[in-house]
Amino acid sequence: MMTRDEIRELAAFQADETKGACALSFYFQPDPPQDRSHRREAIVAKDIVKQALKSAAASGKNGSLHADLDRVLDLATNLRGNARGKAVFACSAQNFWKEYELPPHLGGTQIYLQPQFQLKPLAALLGAQPALCVVMLDRQRARFFDLRLDVLLEHGAIVHMLSRSASSYGYNGYEAGHAERRVSEEALQHFKAVSERLRADLERGAWERLIVGCHDVNWPEFESHLHPYVKQRLIGRFSADVASVSNEEIRDHAGALLNQWITERASTKVSEALEFAKANGRGVAGLRRVLQALEGGEVQAIFLTENYSARAVECPHCGHLDAHLIASCVACGHRTRELADICDAIIPIAIQRNIELFYLKEHDGLDRAGNIAALLRFRSDQTTGQVAAAS
């Protein structure tokens, strides 16, 4: 499983071009399940790597890139039948090789040879994925899971074995009533213990958002014990029986709730950013303004339409990014270099600075605003002395 620190490490990586080093990024997209019998995916992957080998040879690139490509070719040959996506980041000149299994939503099999790793497919996939906790429970059991990038990992359970159930005492007389009260008292203690663990885990940063799976009858009772902070982090709940539910069912239910939440949140936040932009508040629209805000350290979240791409220039000396294709840097006067796609510069910055990236499939407002916008933590050009709180 890929951690945020690993993604940050990828974003910070820079191949030493003076030594002819090159950062290789390879993404493997398996065929959709209904086409799996054709087995085209591995052939496509091999062709793409072979093509890259040819052009590397033609452009006289050095031996270390060749070695990386050979190794990726080997790997691609063995990808036949792989149902999951895969990403490889390599630069043997700098002793770097990382392989990751990913959900099969990478947009296509591709290879990139650049000074930095290509993180766009990864960023689109990660989107604004929170660290998600899924808790499955009933009146005596609770199981805790992490769900990240389609991978479900269990990390502990709480089990309170209830006393003999009320029914086993028969339904008449003091005994039965007493036993029933004891059972519900025990269930209450159990829900409190589960709720307490969730609070403690949230406080130590183990998760950011929560999904609960339980029987409908248990939900109101459990919900009433949730700490208010925990409740604010709740994405949703689904109905399931903790004793018999499979990991796949948990992943599917929770994944569906998560995707819906991400889509709705992206849409709400981008509308907010665009409204703020119109009112000269905590939002900006269009590449020029987004780059300015990024340089000012003001950005909290960036919104892009799915296939957004734009040319821009970068100053290799001070790092200034400019939407105008100017030959020399406005900040330090050095010669700029042209970027075929500004996203190659924006994405690593966003990942390193923990700026949320939202990719939107369709959004009329964002289309009209130049396909890129940002929500700001504050605005440095408004010197009211008051910094608006980021929400």
Q: Quick one: 50 or 334, whose CB is closer to Zn ion?
A: 334
Segment near Zn ion (CB under 5 A), from 162-170, 281-289, 324-332, 342-350?
A: 324-332
- Give the shortest CB-327-to-Zn ion separation in angstroms: 12
Residue 64 makes CB contacts below 8 A (sequence gap 6+) with 20, 21, 22, 91, 92, 93
Stretch that binds Zn ion, among 171-179, 272-280, 329-337, 362-370 (CB under 5 A): 329-337
Of 120, 320, 363, 379, the residue at the interface with Zn ion (CB under 5 A) is 320
Q: Is 326 or 332 the residue whose CB approaches Zn ion more closely? A: 332
Helix, coil or strand: residue 147 = strand
**318 belongs to the binding site for Zn ion (CB under 5 A):** yes
Report the residue number, 17 or 208, with the smaller CB distance to Zn ion: 17
- Four-CA torsion 377, 383, 384, 388, nearest 10 degrees: 0
d(CA 269, CA 27): 29
Looking at the Cβ atoms of 282 and 320, the one nearer to Zn ion is 320
Check residue 19 and report its DSSP letter: G
Q: Which stretch binds Zn ion (CB under 5 A): 104-112, 185-193, 231-239, 328-336?
A: 328-336
Residue found by looking up tokens 């819906």 in the block: 260
* x/- map, 288-317, Zn ion, by CB under 5 A: ---------------------------x-x
Nearest of 190, 170, 166 to residue 179 by alpha carbon: 166
Residue 340 interacting with Zn ion (CB under 5 A): no
Q: Are 76 and 49 in contact (CB under 8 A)?
A: yes
Rounded to a whole number of angstroms, the minimum distance from the CB of residue 16 to Zn ion is 20
Q: Is 332 in the site for Zn ion (CB under 5 A)?
A: yes
83: contact with Zn ion by CB under 5 A: no
Closest approach, Cβ 312 to Zn ion, in A, equals 13
Please tell me whether residue 86 binds Zn ion under the rule CB under 5 A. Answer: no
Q: What is the nearest approach in angstroms of Zn ion to the Cβ of residue 336?
A: 7
Of 333, 322, 262, whose CA–CA distance to 294 is shortest?
A: 322
331 lines the binding site for Zn ion (CB under 5 A): yes
- Long-range contacts, 195-199 (Cβ 8 Å, 24+): 195/222, 195/225, 195/226, 195/227, 195/230, 196/227, 197/142, 197/144, 197/158, 198/133, 198/135, 198/226, 198/227, 198/230, 199/227, 199/229, 199/230
Contact 114, 23 (CB under 8 A): yes
* Under 8 Å between Cβ of 325 and 338: yes
Residue with Cβ nearer Zn ion (54 or 335): 335
Residues binding Zn ion (CB under 5 A): 315, 317-318, 320, 329, 331-332, 334
